[in-house]
Amino acid sequence: MTEVKLDRIGKSYGSVEAVQQFDLTIREGEFLVLLGPSGCGKSTTLRMIAGLESITKGDLMIGGTRMNDVDPKDRGVAMVFQNYALYPHKTVFDNMAMALKLQKVPAAEIQDRVGRTAELLGLTDYLHRKPAALSGGQRQRVAIGRAIVRTPDVFLFDEPLSNLDAKLRVKMRMELQELHDRLGATSVYVTHDQVEAMTLADRIVIMNGGVVAQVGTPREVYDRPADEFVAGFIGSPAMNFLDLMRDDTGRWITECGSLVLPSLPVDAGARRQVRLGVRPEHIAVTAGGQPQGDLDYQAEVLLDELLGADALLSLGVGKARLLARVGGTDHPVQGDRVAIALTAAQLHVFDADTGVALRD
């Protein structure tokens, strides 16, 4: 019933196009995450769905009805804001009851609905406090409660966790996940945090410069990034990129010849130049080992950083630099000679000019 359909939606401010040709159907009950760097148009897209921003091009359909010119309140959507946007002079109860009061819902029902929502979110003891007397996590729960209490068809979240400290963010992320499992409402969630996107999303929309770069499940965007931007944006630390050139014998080598690939895992067509992508976690490092296979190389550890469970090694293969992620115990350290092995199936190849991923 409450499917959200964005039909080639666009937003322009004068001659600046903030969002271009956004084309997507958000399925009923789906948790969709809009992910991208700041200024990529993800918040603008969300605000267009909410009705806080006008739509300059295309059609927005919620539950089969065109909503372009419908007031925010009549769209059946509720929004959770980044800075909570709680009414500072109202108590937690009044914050959550505001929408119901404006809808002229009977007082007894308001009491009941706010009560149940507060219980769901563990806010029962705080109903008579003002927002200023709450912690960051509690405020965010009130903001979520204010959205839930209206029983909207679609939930919109605008970076709801980015004001919380790291520890609380993980906790609230899990709470949000449980909440969505319980309520099952269609949700659109904007974030620039890839961990939030990967963990919460049924599907991720990655945006760049007002354009959708890729739509896919977390698995898909990680395993099969559509282009260089997505490949570099998803994954931490970011993917290594190397420029490769084809020599006369058909081998692919880096500019200064440090790294040689006998062939590419995909068909590069007539291209003489491509960009190779290798995720840090896909580089197998053996201390003191000797290169054996085609994709094995001798490397030197230039820098090692221990993160705890893992360690990051900055490797020098001739003049090429690669970042590798290895286990945090007994890992090679600065100055060690190591052998590294790449796996053909885990290599990504991109067009050197357009950045589009090459696939067979």
Q: How far is CA 253 from the centre of its chain?
A: 33
d(C-alpha 59, C-alpha 65), whole Å: 10
User: Which of 79, 92, 118, 259: binder of other proteins (CB under 8 A)?
Assistant: 79
Q: Does 162 bind other proteins (CB under 8 A)?
A: no
Q: Does 91 bind other proteins (CB under 8 A)?
A: no
Q: What is the DSSP letter of 288?
A: T
d(C-alpha 329, C-alpha 307), whole Å: 11
Q: Does 78 bind other proteins (CB under 8 A)?
A: yes
User: Which of 12, 87, 306, 353: binder of other proteins (CB under 8 A)?
Assistant: 87
When the beta carbons of 135 and 263 are compared against other proteins, the nearer one is 135
Cβ 63 to other proteins, closest distance in Å? 17
- Residue 80's contacts (CB-CB under 8 Å, 6 or more residues apart) are 140, 143, 144, 146, 147, 155, 156, 157, 158, 160
Cβ 353 to other proteins, closest distance in Å? 40
Q: Does 146 bind other proteins (CB under 8 A)?
A: yes
Q: Does 124 bind other proteins (CB under 8 A)?
A: no
Cβ 80 to other proteins, closest distance in Å? 9
Q: Does 99 bind other proteins (CB under 8 A)?
A: yes
When the beta carbons of 76 and 265 are compared against other proteins, the nearer one is 76
Select from 282, 272, 251, 275 the least CA-distant residue to 344: 282
Burial 31-53 (b: 16+ CB within 10 A, else e): bbbbbbeeebbbbbbbbbbbbeb
At 324 the three-state DSSP class reads strand
At 185 the three-state DSSP class reads coil
From the list 33-41, 85-93, 166-174, 265-273, the region that binds other proteins by CB under 8 A is: 85-93
- Contact residues for other proteins, defined by CB under 8 A: 50, 52, 72-73, 77-79, 81-89, 98-99, 102-103, 132, 139, 146, 150, 163
